[in-house]
Structure 1
């Protein structure tokens, strides 16, 4: 299938006659196009244009192309949008647009949906503290997008009305249009969101100028982002207000395709903005610009932000859904761990936040508080919560969600499985059979078995001419533990500690390192258990030559969940594989790889 063809438009300002005359002309000469996306003010800025606008809304004029808009402000907006909100066809949870009339859809609030195969996210309205019903976005809208940023997959298009602050930083082209540096029409919240969402295209209006920035690389992602600012319909300065794109949906692209960088790609403009705001820390790091040739690609500026419990009765969507909120103590919403745990068990956020859910039977989440098994005593508190947990967990052997075709060895207390989206072909997970949050707090009988598995894997990888790195990220919010084993070439073993140390330095901490070359097997883990506190998050790595690195993660610290994998991806020069979602295979391919590993591992498998 050919890629979808999309038209983009800046502020319409109610000039629908002029807009659709241009759309019809472009469609005839270069079409057909699949949709029109409008950013910036969609409604008129004076009553003079209102009759023309209402001709389309009320059906007297025809809208020739399916149109989606986010600029829900201007003359007549409240009347039109209120009527649309009350329409029975627009009730319920609709992220893909509320129908205003034939071929015209209002993207309300914020959300994500699929349009012609493209993953599209949006933030409707502008920043304002006035609390208006239409035309402004709320903190809830921002929280929804921050949670969406945590979801797997790449966002193809991100629509905002206002420009991100700092988008021209590090731009290679000197001739930036006049008015771009004017703070009017720029929003720092949009900058924060685009850093988290990392879309392939970011489209904005409001400033009234056309600006196509060079693509820029994203921190902690392999693909680039292209920013497009668009002029307003009928502007006197002749700024371009309509633009055509035809992007291939990221969901159909290979890892190599999505990681391609054009020659004019620059560094992210937003990392520079954030560093400037960091004062003394920034001064130290300004010389350590992120480079494509470096092993490590994390942005230090995002490292430490406090979490906290703020005033107010409403829950923070970001914290409840992901366990963290980058606004920390500045957040206007409640950071509630009990609500977070209920959310992990599948309870609806609206039910937790408001006590009810307007989606009713259309909602796929639970509308009752779920009980749980006590993690210390192992006794069930009430109901069948333990059973529910094992059904929802990907790693529990009793779960219907477990991908059993990846399992390569099963013991009494642990099993081994190929990692889904593996970094290298023999990337293995060591997983407890029971539902435990980490491997360090388990009893001696567990430790004996895990030591045996590690020793056998080391011998297997040695027979392949490789060394192995074991690592585990233990979060306070971890559900089912998995200790990862990644083989590396013997020729790279002598530098792996340096690479981990470089990564730690980039994030602003130092590993605690220990070496026990003459110690019996398992001595390194024994030392780790003395440092481990179940009330704190913890990362450790066991390296070749009996070196162990560990780091207790502070409450105020943001620690990347993919830290270990990112480091080893850099070590192996596999930046495009740093995210497991870029490395997925079909079930048939995974099954074949698992069977082939079992054959190679057979003589080393302690569970055969």
Structure 2
């Protein structure tokens, strides 16, 4: 198939007669073209121009090509666009445009759609420091684009009204028109987005000048980006306001075709990204001879943050997608639980707002799973019915999702299973059969059986010259508990408490301590301390001492804290994430049979 043929246009300012005359002429002489994409202000500047504009909306005048616009501001915009939004035939989220009239489509908010094979993303409206209003984009719109940037595939075109700040950096100065150097009509948000999205073409309006920049290299991508800034319709300087391109969709191009570069290609105007990359790599380096180095993730400069000070409770997309955030004072939540959900393929909008407006067109999951267990909607605060929870939960024995081949022993109230991605050999889980959110909520009978399991496992590990650590992360969002059981070489038992205290200190808190004569007594004391309306992390150390930390409402606490600390103790920081340790089902079955044969004589259910 021949590449699609697209016309691009800058600020229209409601001059539709002039625009359609020019487009019709170009289409007749050099066409046919498939579509017209307009960036910059689409609506009139003054009420006097509104009559001409309304003539097209009412159908008295026609658009010669399918026309898409993102400049949803100017005189008449609120009234016309509000009417289009409430039309019952246009309800729902339409990333390929809300139809305003024949051949005219409003690209609302932000999104991605395909036009004759070209992948096009857009950001409607302008940047504004005065908060959300008509004709401006929101942080949700920006975060949605960052989610799209992490999807596989290359974006062909990115449409924004404003230019990215700094686009003239490293460009040939002789080719830069005077009006392009002004910061007016530029946006640092757009600059950040384009450096993440890395489109092949970036099209903008607003500055009122035409500027086709030399292609520039993208950090961590083989293809280049070409920026085109367009002048406004009917501008006095007669600068170019309609421009034709015919790009081949990246999905049909070979790797060598995508990596081809013109001789005038420059470095990225937004920086190479190398300094950032080196910083991240340096942060992650550790020296096993330094006991502190195992806990680089808990550096004092990254003490737990309170996010309640912000009037927004939205999630930070950068943190969810990469595990870090370059902003020094990020006002969005760095939520470890949500990051795990996102990495499992859960929709960012669903995590962030509790719903996704894309509906069936969204390719991400709209249900929450936490390392094998269903969790309630974090935004709405609503869970599922009990039957639905059990059906979806990977830990419920009645669920079709349970991985029964990992189960090693089953009692009346608890069962013992290997986790997905063991930290070390014989790392196991003690899981209540009842669908309860934490083991501290067990019935008296369930608690008694749990104590028997713990005693049996302690004796089993003693026979191997090992001690054992039990720990549990009790989150308010948890629905099915699991108590982690990790064997520790006896030679390292004496430093376990110090290691946890060190990690806690670097996160900015101190553990509370329960000293007791037995594990059962310690757990009873902890149950009295536990507020079921809050979150809690606790560790049962060898010798039955329990250290615990009640987690405050807005406190940033790593959901994998216990595993990460013990991975440092074992000098195996690469195993701090269970996803790095996954095995095939056959390997897991062999490990289960091996554990059962060794643990058999200690198993309280044998």
TM-score range, shorter chain: 0.5 to 0.7
- 437 and 9 in structure 1: CA distance in 2 versus 1, 3 angstrom threshold: farther
Greater Rg, structure 1 or structure 2?
2
Is the partner of 2:175 in helix, strand or coil?
coil
Shift of 1:96: 1.0
Partner Cα distance (1:158, 1:361) in 2: 24
- 45 and 266 in structure 1: CA distance in 2 versus 1, 3 angstrom threshold: same
Q: What is the aligned-residue RMSD (CA, Å)?
A: 4.3
The partner residue of 1:443 within 389, 411, 425 is 425
Is the partner of 1:243 in helix, strand or coil?
strand
* Residue number in structure 2 paired with 1:229: 229
Is the partner of 1:143 in helix, strand or coil?
helix
* Residue number in structure 2 paired with 1:105: 105
Partner Cα distance (2:328, 2:351) in 1: 21
Is the partner of 1:119 in helix, strand or coil?
strand
Retained in 1: the 8 A contact 2:323–2:339?
Answer: no
Partner Cα distance (1:40, 1:86) in 2: 24
Summarize deviations over 1:512-571 as a string: whole Å, max 9, x none.
Answer: xxxxxxxxxxxxxxxxxxxx99427999xxxxxxxxx9988999xxxxx9xxxxxxxxxx
Partner Cα distance (1:164, 1:361) in 2: 33
* Residue number in structure 2 paired with 1:326: 325
Is the partner of 2:564 in helix, strand or coil?
coil
Is the partner of 1:179 in helix, strand or coil?
helix
Q: How does 1:61-140 map to 2 (within 5 A)?
A: 61-140=61-140
Q: How does 1:176-575 map to 2 (within 5 A)?
A: 176-271=176-271, 310=307, 311-312=310-311, 314-316=313-315, 318=317, 322=321, 324=323, 326=325, 328=327, 330-344=329-343, 349-356=348-355, 369-370=368-369, 372-373=371-372, 383-386=391-394, 436-437=420-421, 441-443=423-425, 534-535=563-564
Shift of 1:201: 0.3
Partner Cα distance (1:19, 1:72) in 2: 17
- 65 and 536 in structure 1: CA distance in 2 versus 1, 3 angstrom threshold: farther
Retained in 2: the 8 A contact 1:537–1:553?
Answer: no
Summarize deviations over 1:448-495 as a string: whole Å, max 9, x none.
Answer: xxxxxxxxxxxxxxxxxxxxxxxxxxxxxxxxxxxxxxxxxxxxxxxx
Structure 2: unaligned runs, 5 residues or longer: 280-300, 375-388, 406-417, 428-560, 580-606
Shift of 1:323: 5.2
Partner Cα distance (1:44, 1:110) in 2: 22
- 327 and 135 in structure 1: CA distance in 2 versus 1, 3 angstrom threshold: farther
For normalisation by structure 1, the TM-score amounts to 0.58
* Residue number in structure 2 paired with 1:582: none
Retained in 2: the 8 A contact 1:372–1:385?
Answer: no
Shift of 1:130: 2.5
- 348 and 246 in structure 1: CA distance in 2 versus 1, 3 angstrom threshold: closer
Retained in 1: the 8 A contact 2:161–2:206?
Answer: yes
- 128 and 325 in structure 1: CA distance in 2 versus 1, 3 angstrom threshold: farther
Shift of 1:443: 1.7
* Residue number in structure 2 paired with 1:486: none
Partner Cα distance (1:274, 1:75) in 2: 45
Summarize deviations over 1:196-218 as a string: whole Å, max 9, x none.
Answer: 00000001000000001111111
- 181 and 103 in structure 1: CA distance in 2 versus 1, 3 angstrom threshold: same
Retained in 2: the 8 A contact 1:305–1:326?
Answer: no
For normalisation by structure 2, the TM-score amounts to 0.58
* Residue number in structure 2 paired with 1:464: none
Is the partner of 1:8 in helix, strand or coil?
strand
Shift of 1:180: 1.0
- 254 and 72 in structure 1: CA distance in 2 versus 1, 3 angstrom threshold: same
- 122 and 374 in structure 1: CA distance in 2 versus 1, 3 angstrom threshold: closer
* Residue number in structure 2 paired with 1:460: none
Shift of 1:442: 3.3
Partner Cα distance (2:49, 2:304) in 1: 48
Structure 1: unaligned runs, 5 residues or longer: 282-303, 376-380, 399-433, 446-531, 540-548, 556-560, 562-608
Retained in 1: the 8 A contact 2:394–2:401?
Answer: no
Is the partner of 1:134 in helix, strand or coil?
coil
Partner Cα distance (1:190, 1:69) in 2: 17
* Residue number in structure 1 paired with 2:489: none
Summarize deviations over 1:18-52 as a string: whole Å, max 9, x none.
Answer: 00000000000000000000001000111121110
- 228 and 57 in structure 1: CA distance in 2 versus 1, 3 angstrom threshold: same
Partner Cα distance (1:14, 1:351) in 2: 37
Shift of 1:324: 3.7
